[in-house]
Amino acid sequence: MKKNIMKLLAFALIVMFSQSLVAQGEGRGSGQGQRQTKEQIEERAKQRKAQLVKDLKLDKDQIKKMNSADKKYQEEMTKMRESGNRENMRAMMTKMNAKRDSVYTTFFNKDQQKKYKEILKTRAANRGGRGRGIR
């Protein structure tokens, strides 16, 4: 009888422990090691773009040009992801980000270019060398 109670108690503890581990994982957003959904990525991009428009005080023409550059960039990123070439992805993404940034600066004035470079440096510092995408 005591053995059965001990087995039941051990089983209950294991179940409770495993449920607490699952619950801990559910509360996390899109933290390190967890993939974001397409919707989360798009929402973050919209927020980032809105912040850039505000910080750089972009006019309607600049916003239009930025949207066009972003659309091209997103198409290239989608093709790259779908290619399945994971080995070179980081280098390719770095190259694509630099290309997009250089396109942006063609329609920014000097003050906006300077401010944009500062924003990029701040973002890089906030990533803390984790090698993740734009933050």
Average pLDDT, the chain: 79
Would you state the pLDDT for residue 24?
A: 56
- Contact criterion met (CB below 8 Å) for 119 and 77: no
Q: Which two tokens stand for residue 87?
A: 């080995």
Would you state the pLDDT for residue 57?
A: 94
Residue 76 has pLDDT above 70, yes or no: yes
The more confidently predicted of residues 89 and 116 is 116
How large is the average pLDDT for residues 33-37? 73
DSSP annotation string for 78-126: HHHHHHT--TTHHHHHHHHHHHHHHHHHHSS-HHHHHHHHHHHHHHHHH
Residues 113-125 have pLDDT tens digits of: 999 999 989 888 8
Q: What are phi and psi of 31, to 5 degrees?
A: -75, -175
Q: In Å, how far from its chain's centre is CA 62?
A: 24
Please name the residues in contact with 107: beta carbons below 8 A apart, sequence gap of 6 or more: 61, 62, 65, 66
Biggest distance spanned by C-alpha atoms of the chain: 82
Q: How far apart are CA 26 and CA 64, in angstroms?
A: 39
